[in-house]
Amino acid sequence: MKRINLNYWITAIAIGSLLNTSLFVLLPKLGKTEPPKAPSIIKVEFMAWQQPRKKQPTPPKNKPKLKPKPKPKLEKPKPKLAPPPKSLPKKKPALTEEPTPIEKPPIPEPAIKEEPTEEILPVPAPIFELTSMPRMIHRETPVYPPEMRAQGKEATVKLEVLLDVNGQVKKVTIKKSGGSLFDQAAINAIKSSTFMPGNINGKPVAVLMRIPVKFRLR
Maximum Cα–Cα distance for the chain, whole Å? Answer: 202
Q: Is 148 part of a structural domain of the chain?
A: yes
Contact 159, 211 (CB under 8 A): yes
Q: Is 160 part of a structural domain of the chain?
A: yes
Tens-level pLDDT at each residue, the chain (218 residues): 545 567 777 777 878 777 777 776 666 665 555 555 555 555 555 565 666 666 666 665 555 566 666 666 666 666 666 666 666 555 554 444 554 555 555 666 555 555 555 678 899 999 899 999 999 999 999 999 999 999 999 999 999 999 999 999 999 999 999 999 999 999 999 999 999 999 999 999 999 999 999 999 87
Distance CA 167, CA 61 (A): 119
Q: Is 185 part of a structural domain of the chain?
A: yes
Contact 169, 195 (CB under 8 A): yes
Q: How many domains does the chain have?
A: 1
Distance CA 174, CA 187 (A): 9
Q: Is 15 part of a structural domain of the chain?
A: no
Distance CA 162, CA 173 (A): 9
Q: What is the CATH number of the domain that holds 149?
A: 3.30.2420.10
Half-sphere exposure of 19 (CA within 13 A, CB side): 6
Rounded to two decimals, the pTM is 0.47
Q: What is the pLDDT of residue 158?
A: 96
Q: Is 32 part of a structural domain of the chain?
A: no
Question: Residue 152 belongs to what domain range?
Answer: 127-215
